[in-house]
Chain A
Amino acid sequence: KPISTEEKDKAVLAKKYLQRFYGMPAGLQRPGKSSDLMQQKIREMQEFFKLEVTGKLDDKTVELMEMARCGVPDVAEYN
């Protein structure tokens, strides 16, 4: 089944969010690694916000990613 635009938008939002606040590296990863890493970063985020830790982009996770917030990363070394 093709990915809907909404799903694509969510994925883009999540990628940007995780890169900015959870230290997910930007750029290409080898096949398979990218989504594993994204799941791991989603889990980190869900754990921080005390959401259900699923590693998936469920509605509550996306909703939190869309909320107005501070630009300082939640985890990871501050550079």
Chain B
Amino acid sequence: HFPRDLKWKTTNVTFRILNYTPDLKKKVVDRAVRKALNVWSKVTPLRFTKTFDGTADIMISFGTKEHGDFNPFDGPEGLLAHAYPPGIGIGGDTHFDEDETWTEDYHAFNLFLVAAHEFGHALGMAHSSDPGSLMYPVYSYAKGFPLSEDDIEGIQSLYGENPDHEKFKPKPIAPEKCDPELSFDAITELRGETIIFKDRFYWRLHPNMPEPEQTLIKNTWPEIPNKVDAAYENPERDVVIIFSGIKMWALNGYTLVDGYPKYIHKLGLPKTVRKIDAAVNIRDTGKTLLFVDEEYWSFDEQTGTMDTGYPRSIEDDFPGIGDEVDAAAYHYGYLNLYHEHTQFEYSYSARKVVRIMRANSILNC
């Protein structure tokens, strides 16, 4: 919140759109603004009424550089928008930088998302340091309902809950890398870096970066679903395959490869398989292991076919790791298998577990 917990004294808040961006059709702007206000009214008793003349609580406008409030914009990129906390006069007013390119999708800057963030300010919310929250000060694109638990807790402590109890699904808080109970969704190498997927985020470990970097998946790859089940790198083909449900995507570097998504059944898996838990390429053999429930399959990258004799039992072939795997990685003869908050270092040659660690030891915890 802003100092002194500034808020509107009434639950009926008015808004007025003073001008429109030429980047979008007028009705698209109207819809984005209404949708952005609805984000907040879904979780509070606040109701928003549109006015067409006079002074509204929230006056919405598009402007460039110095635009009348001695708080200038800076041309393309950089500052996108700003809004004033509740109050008389300029309080609640929301300004968008017309030098930006406004869109209704993931290109450039999505007007709905920026407006929803700014209206948070117009209602009394300051910035959050949770990178998964709408009130995080840095722009990132994401689909779906944009509020996190942090946003909801913040707005409801000002205005209370929605008495109608409308159903919504808040975004979960960003995972903490040193949470002792942390588990992973998927791990892969990517040209010498390690990418660890967890919920809507991924951590990037680079040999030249001392600390892991956490980013929203949608921020880097808007086309990939928010939940990644498994991933592996085929260094020979210089691709990373990402699995989510029955579909898979391919990356070349950080760029999505055309022609994807494809169905995982193209690999030769039976139609009964609806999700791959973990995948890992064993460089020494050229085989990719695909872990599904309590079994695993072997895919020959050279021939592009499934090896015969599979699926085999995980528990039988990898004694000591249990019967399920969340994520897997292979380094220098060692297979690192992750299940819940535990990492098993499995020696491929000795055929046994040689070390057990916390899963997040890979994140310097």
> A residues touching B (Cβ–Cβ < 8 Å)?
21, 48-52, 60, 64, 67-74, 77-78
Contacts and interface: CB of A to CB of B under 8 A. Distances in A.
Contacts of B92: none
Contacts of A73: 127
A78 B139 contact: no
A64 B85 contact: no
B3 A70 contact: no
B210 interface: yes
Given A52-B211, A60-B209, A71 B79 contact: yes
Given A49-B129, A50-B129, A52-B211, A68 B77 contact: yes
A54 B195 CA distance: 25
Contact of B3 (A51, A72, A74, A78): A78
A48 B79 CA distance: 18
B102 to A, nearest CB: 12
B48 interface: no
B3 A69 contact: no
B209 A68 contact: no
Question: For chain A, what secondary structure do more than half of its interface residues adopt (helix, strand, loop), or is it mixed?
Answer: loop
Interface string B200-224: 0000000001110100000000000
B2 to A, nearest CB: 5
The 7 closest A-B pairs by CB, nearest first: A71-B82, A71-B79, A68-B139, A74-B127, A69-B138, A67-B138, A70-B137
B80 to A, nearest CB: 6
Contacts of B138: 64, 67-69
Given A70-B127, A72-B137, A52 B80 contact: no
A4 B118 CA distance: 37
B129 A70 contact: no
Contact of B210 (A52, A67, A68, A72): A52
Contact of B85 (A50, A60, A69, A78): A78
B71 interface: yes
Interface string B102-139: 00000001000010011001000011010100000111
B235 interface: no
Contact of A69 (B2, B71, B79): B79
9 contacts: A50-B129, A60-B213, A68-B77, A68-B109, A69-B78, A70-B80, A70-B82, A71-B71, A74-B127
A78 to B, nearest CB: 5
For A51, A64, A71, A77, the residue with the greatest tally of chain B CB atoms inside 10 Å of its CB is: A71
Contact of B139 (A48, A49, A67, A74): A67
B353 interface: no
Contacts of B81: 70-71
Given A60-B209, A60-B213, A69 B126 contact: no
A69 B74 CA distance: 12
Contacts of B85: 78
B83 interface: yes
A73 B3 CA distance: 12
Contacts of B118: 70
Nearest to A47: B129
A64 B73 CA distance: 18
